Amino acid sequence: MLMKRFLAFFFTVLASAPALAQNWPAGGPITIVMGFPAGSGVDIVARLFQVPMEQALGAKFVMDYRTGAGGNIASEAVARAKPDGYTLLLSTAATHGVNAALYKRLPFDVENDFTPIAPLVDVSNVLTINPTVIDVHTVKEFIASVKANPGKYNYASTGNGTGTHLAFAEFNARAGLNLVHVPYKGGPEALAAVVKGDVCCIFNQVQSVLGQWKAGKVRLLGVTTKTRVAAVPDVPTISEAGVPGYESYIWFGLHGPKGLDPQIVSALNGAVKKAIDTPAVRQRLAELGNTPRYETPEQFRATIKADRASWAAVVKASGASVD
């Protein structure tokens, strides 16, 4: 009798698994959890992908902002969520690359507690200065001025161990500089400090500084990617402008909880591809200084693994650490 009950339960579970994928996403809206605030660069990209992905899937997406701890609060919520396709993480190079090396303890396993779905974009930072504080026009002039005035200049970041901090820490090391790091609570506060002249400069996302740049309040000296950015085509790369070999970029993507049905993963990955192939999306991403990036889930997993190793080396060299 016990064996009959077990077999009945086993075959019921087997029969229900395909049905879950076939019925999804009819069970309700899909929640995208993100660890960064509304209006942030992550949110802007998520909103841009939202409508074409809704159209591709015939589903609604809602945003759930769980900010703090460099995205770890949002990551933990998704790691503990039911793997039914209705709770996803707007992941970043921070949540699945930097944080594993930066934080001494994490309440989840970055690799084993999540299901990679797809990357969305690569995001370039740009060396942004206040010309009333340090009046230079090129990366080489910037380096020369800082070296000629030791201890005079500080740089802002969006927080200890964030991509903006680590991008500048690596720049410091490669260029032989000693600018002092001043962390802020987020992007708006950090950029405001540069505009006010409290600090001389920041590496910040291109999309985040375009408004202040167009208003003439900041000057852009170099982007951190291997190639120039379409939104600011006259701004050279840091590498070509005076620090050969320098490169630093971040990505935004989608993850689900561990155990997400492969059929759901495939459907979500396909919806991302359709969004990336939409001309209006590609045009808007270019205007924001972002580069669309499509990979299969398997390719995305391999990318993240390689990124973790690279970021671990950068974090170690910077000396950054969070309890």
The dihedrals phi and psi of 81, each to the nearest 5 degrees, come to -80, 160
The dihedrals phi and psi of 100, each to the nearest 5 degrees, come to -65, -30
pLDDT at site 18: 44
The residue ranges of every structural domain in the chain are: 2-122+250-318, 124-241
CA–CA distance, 103 with 93 (Å, rounded to integer): 14
Q: What is the pLDDT of residues 180-234, one digit of tens each?
A: 999 998 888 999 999 999 999 999 999 899 999 999 999 999 999 999 999 999 9
Q: Which of the listed CATH numbers 3.40.640.10, 3.30.1490.20, 3.40.190.10, 2.60.120.10 matches domain 124-241?
A: 3.40.190.10
Q: Is the per-residue pLDDT at 129 higher than 70?
A: yes
Q: Which residues pair with 305 in a beta bridge?
A: none
CA–CA distance, 218 with 196 (Å, rounded to integer): 10
Mean pLDDT, range 277-302, rounded to an integer: 95
CA–CA distance, 281 with 292 (Å, rounded to integer): 9
Alpha helices in 41-110 (DSSP H): 41-57, 72-79, 93, 99-102
Provide the pLDDT confidence category of residue 14 given band limits of 50, 70 and 90: very low
Report residue 236 as tokens.
């050279």
Mean pLDDT of the chain: 90
Report residue 186 as tokens.
């987020």
CB 114 within 8 A of CB 260: no
pLDDT at site 249: 85
pLDDT at site 319: 80
Q: Evaluate whether 2-122+250-318 and 124-241 have a shared fold.
A: yes
Q: Is the per-residue pLDDT at 20 higher than 70?
A: no
Q: Beta strand 114-129 with 249-257: parallel, antiparallel or unpaired?
A: antiparallel
Computed over its alpha carbons, how large is the radius of gyration of the chain?
22
Compute how many other C-beta atoms are within 10 angstroms of the C-beta atom of residue 91. Answer: 31
CB 61 within 8 A of CB 50: yes
Mean pLDDT, range 171-179, rounded to an integer: 93
Q: Tell the CATH topology of 2-122+250-318.
A: D-Maltodextrin-Binding Protein; domain 2 (3.40.190)
Provide the pLDDT confidence category of residue 8 given band limits of 50, 70 and 90: very low
CB 128 within 8 A of CB 203: yes
